[in-house]
Structure 1
Amino acid sequence: MKSGRLIQVLLLLQARGRMTADELAAELEVSPRTIYRDVESLNAAGIPIYSDRGPAGGYQLIDGYRTRLTGLTTDEAQSLFLAGLPGPAEALGLGEFAAAAQLKLLAALPTELRSKAEQIRQRFHLDTPTWFRGDEPTEHLATIADAVWEQRRVRMTYLRWGNQTVDREVDPHGLVLKAGTWYFVGSGRTYRVSRVLSLEVTTDTFDRPKGFDLARFWAEWSEQFEARMYGDRVTVRMTRAGLDKTQYLLSGYQARVIRDADPQPGQEFGFPTESLRHAVADLLKFGADVEVLAPNELRHELGATIKAMHDVYNGAKLPAWFR
């Protein structure tokens, strides 16, 4: 509605200062011509907006003017309480501040909205860790968060995969919480916070890369990481039951690759895996609903594993630990 858009124009100018018609139009997903008309309507209503011409021009409120039109709608109030993350806030050392802010927000809301916000809190809960795994130890998380805010370089000893330790200096650009696991992005790399063995915040500051967007970086990095992790392919064919079970028995990336390939029952396709060792574990889940066609090494490994299982359950050639 136009009235709601006028308020948005006013609040954007109040929050960000000078903005061009094109910037306002992009933010509100309307045409610049609509913005021209909206500004004229605001001026007619007595709102002191003036415009400057030229490359550095744009619309701006007269200095010192602030509107009180900042009331929340019911949906907006509900969304704020849905966005609450008490666990992560606590881990970052902000638990008491988040709780205090929420209390202040509740107190400031009208009675009707206060009731709606309380209903949201009682009916929805976000549990970030994945099943069967608790939160990882994050001893250095709060310190890394401070370094992110203050744009200070850190020195750390980091435990890489394979239990190799490395010493690095990193410019921390942001923190990411993924399925209960904290990561931080810095100097073009991604690090798992629980693998930081020691950390020192230096007095050196850094400038964030121009145009760096944390969400976009994480999305691109995640896609590349999954593609690298499941870079191998083995040739298999599956029954309809096997194909139907891929979404339950495999990782999201593996299931997505197979779904995109759209194999039919009995049709050969490339099964994504980390290695032959991982493929054995993954394919045994499907029982007789999958057949490995290549490589022969994997066929033999699966055959030997299945024979050993047969011997265990038929009492023949039992391993020493079974006796």
Structure 2
Amino acid sequence: MRGDRLIKILLMLQSQGQLTANELAERLEVSERTIYRDMDALSGAGIPVVAERGKNGGWSLLEGYQTNLTGLKEAEIHALLVSPSIQLLDDLGLTGTSEDARIKLIAALPDKYREHAKEVWNRIYIDTSSWRNEKEKLKSFETLKQSIWQNHKLNMIYQRADGQTIERIVQPLGLVAKGNRWYFIAAKENGEIRNYRASRIQHAAPINETFERPKSFDIAQYWKSSTEAFVKELPTYEVRVRVTLDIVGRLSYSSHFVRVIEMSEDDKEGWVLVRLSFDTQEEAIRYILGFSNQMFVIEPTYLRNKICELAESVVVHYNFNQNE
């Protein structure tokens, strides 16, 4: 176990350059004290690991050092050969390149692994598209990709969620795919890093100015922290309802963002007590009305009264139009 971890540390330092003890500890899921012991072990084995102190310090390998470790375990081969999302590769223009790379990788494997590795393609397939295949329009996606690799600042026009449009000069740092949606990660001129939904970028044009990419920026770690903070700040609106057994299996299969928090066993009359969570009261109302007489609101009582008023207004509306 420790030997595997030491090899991982060596390969991580070789491929990514300088990493702090904290970064290594988080990725390997051990304590920083363990990382320091591992570094002593690597040094004792003749590996030239170098520690640099200070704010921008960390662990690295002596410049010019290169390990010749090439062995791959069977599980590692599987990880490399599992089919990626074709939809996302299409967006990036890498579909053909990805297939070529996998063919070359298989050709480079030892004979005893080659045939088995080919079977991985036929065992697991990843599809990130939605059932309705509603693909977002990405007007400036090519410009975003180029600016990320070239470290060119962008003049960007962005439509916020409230419909307002802003113009901003940003420093492109990366792209993140969440499901089948793309998010553009960029730093504002004051250094603040923000997430932008790529489909809301109305226009983006590079300006004749480059920037220095932050050496400490790790897009995977940033996205993890960013999404955790976003989820914590999401509004919640909880409702207790009784539902018929017929719709229990359908509670989470809707176009509304709903979470089933708690569910009791059905009573003798064929009803189940459920606690649901929504983002807003409006979302809860639309969801509950959609199930008609198969769902009954218990709490909050004012929501039950509001739904009754809305249902009555719908009846009045249809009766009025029917009489015209």
TM-score by length of 2: 0.71
Cα displacement string for residues 158-197 of structure 1 (whole angstroms, at most 9, x for unaligned residues): 3344654433322222211122111212234332222222
Tell me which residue corresponds to 1:283: 288
SS of structure 1 residue aligned to 2:185: strand
Residue 235 of structure 1 contacts residue 271 of structure 1 at CA under 8 Å; is this kept in 2? yes
Residue 148 of structure 1 contacts residue 173 of structure 1 at CA under 8 Å; is this kept in 2? yes
- What's the RMSD between the two structures over aligned residues? 4.2
Tell me which residue corresponds to 2:104: 104
Residue 191 (1) aligns with residue 173 (2): no
Tell me which residue corresponds to 2:219: 214
- Give the fraction of aligned pairs with identical amino acids, expressed as a percent: 28
SS of structure 2 residue aligned to 1:97: helix
Tell me which residue corresponds to 1:95: 95
Tell me which residue corresponds to 1:255: 259
**Distance (whole Å) between structure 2 residues aligned to residue 218 and residue 54 of structure 1:** 27
Alignment of 1:17-166 (within 5 A): 29=30, 30=34, 32-33=36-37, 35-37=39-41, 39-40=43-44, 42-43=45-46, 49-50=47-48, 55=53, 60=61, 64-82=64-82, 84-161=84-161, 163-166=163-166
- The code of the aligned residue for 1:147 comes to S
**Distance (whole Å) between structure 2 residues aligned to residue 18 and residue 220 of structure 1:** 21
C-alpha change, 1:270 and 1:53, in structure 2 (3 Å) is closer
Residue 176 of structure 2 contacts residue 184 of structure 2 at CA under 8 Å; is this kept in 1? yes
Cα displacement string for residues 281-307 of structure 1 (whole angstroms, at most 9, x for unaligned residues): 2112333322262144343113433x4
Cα displacement string for residues 43-81 of structure 1 (whole angstroms, at most 9, x for unaligned residues): 4xxxxx3466884797845x6553332121111111011
Residue 185 of structure 1 contacts residue 191 of structure 1 at CA under 8 Å; is this kept in 2? yes
**Distance (whole Å) between structure 1 residues aligned to residue 163 and residue 114 of structure 2:** 51
C-alpha change, 1:308 and 1:209, in structure 2 (3 Å) is farther
Unaligned runs of 5+ in 2: 266-270
Cα displacement string for residues 248-279 of structure 1 (whole angstroms, at most 9, x for unaligned residues): 245796315x34xx789898978534353x33
SS of structure 1 residue aligned to 2:71: coil
Residue 203 (1) aligns with residue 208 (2): yes
C-alpha change, 1:291 and 1:275, in structure 2 (3 Å) is closer
Give the count of matched residue pairs.
Answer: 303
Alignment partner for residue 301 of structure 1, among 287, 304, 310? 310
Tell me which residue corresponds to 1:46: none
Tell me which residue corresponds to 1:314: none
C-alpha change, 1:22 and 1:192, in structure 2 (3 Å) is closer
- The code of the aligned residue for 1:149 comes to W
SS of structure 2 residue aligned to 1:36: helix
Residue 242 of structure 2 contacts residue 296 of structure 2 at CA under 8 Å; is this kept in 1? yes
C-alpha change, 1:204 and 1:247, in structure 2 (3 Å) is farther
Cα displacement string for residues 199-255 of structure 1 (whole angstroms, at most 9, x for unaligned residues): 201122334567544344434544565676655x37553247499457524579631
What is the CA-CA distance between 1:10 and the residue it aligns to? Answer: 4.5
**Distance (whole Å) between structure 1 residues aligned to residue 79 and residue 48 of structure 2:** 33
**Distance (whole Å) between structure 1 residues aligned to residue 234 and residue 52 of structure 2:** 51
More helix by share: 1
**Distance (whole Å) between structure 2 residues aligned to residue 228 and residue 6 of structure 1:** 38
**Distance (whole Å) between structure 2 residues aligned to residue 227 and residue 172 of structure 1:** 26
Unaligned runs of 5+ in 1: 44-48, 312-316
Residue 83 of structure 2 contacts residue 121 of structure 2 at CA under 8 Å; is this kept in 1? no
What is the CA-CA distance between 1:120 and the residue it aligns to? Answer: 1.1
**Distance (whole Å) between structure 1 residues aligned to residue 116 and residue 207 of structure 2:** 46
**Distance (whole Å) between structure 1 residues aligned to residue 24 and residue 110 of structure 2:** 30
**Distance (whole Å) between structure 2 residues aligned to residue 125 and residue 131 of structure 1:** 16
**Distance (whole Å) between structure 2 residues aligned to residue 224 and residue 7 of structure 1:** 33
